[in-house]
Amino acid sequence: MRPATSEAQNADITTLRQIQVFRIHNSQYQGFMNDVTNSVYPITLALPIGQLIYEFSTHDTAMIVDGFKTIGALAINTIITSGLKYAIDRRRPFKTYPDIHPYKYDSDPSFPSGHTSYAFSVATILTLEYKKWYIAAPAYVWAATAGYSRLYLGEHYPSDVAAGAIIGAGSAWLSYKGSAWLLHHRKKQVHTPHVGN
């Protein structure tokens, strides 16, 4: 009986190879997948900057808080994703399997997918902050496509992408709930009367 880790690795590379076969026969999507992958970091950077510029210009305190929640989500995501990458130090698929030909030879570890974690962090924090279906739906479609693009382009295993999605969404949730707790705790302190001696 093979170890569970070996079975999981086999499932990972089998699924990735199937996606690579699809890629070979559907190369017309290459440019689109490149664009989606390349959009992740610029959008991740632009979102909190845009939020804060707009929010400070309108002097909307509640919206300024949203900008800092976004920064918090991305900071938590960065710490967890980077920490796991170098703690686990998983080799990229193309370094282990010569038949996988990526669009770019990234040198950092494979697990988890950073592009996917940032995309899902952005999608989740936007959904939590604005609670509108017409924001959530396209945000998650973009995030899911970004995750798939990492497989299509041969950069990651499916488990890297799945972990990235969970970490990204979880980081956003932690930032959102943590900020709500801090604001509630602060308001409680402000409104609690001080009893003199």
Q: Walk me through the domains of the chain, giving residue ranges and CATH numbers.
A: 39-178 (1.20.144.10)
Question: Strands (DSSP E) along the chain, which ranges?
Answer: none
Phi-psi region of 13 (alpha: psi -120 to 50; beta: other; left: phi over 0): alpha
The residue to which tokens 């693009």 are assigned: 149
Query: In this predicted model, what pLDDT tens digit does every residue of 159-180 receive, in sequence order?
Result: 999 999 999 999 999 999 988 7
Looking at this protein, which amino acid is placed at residue 46?
A
pLDDT score for 156:
96
**pLDDT > 90 in the chain, percent:** 69
Structure-token pair, residue 25: 């026969």
| pLDDT-based confidence at residue 1 (cuts at 50, 70, 90) | very low
Residues 109, 89 contacting (CB under 8 angstroms): yes
151-160, 166-175, 182-191: least confidently modelled range: 182-191
pTM of the full structure:
0.88
pLDDT score for 191:
54
Alpha carbons 8 and 52: distance in angstroms, whole number = 43
Phi-psi region of 56 (alpha: psi -120 to 50; beta: other; left: phi over 0): alpha
Alpha carbons 42 and 21: distance in angstroms, whole number = 29
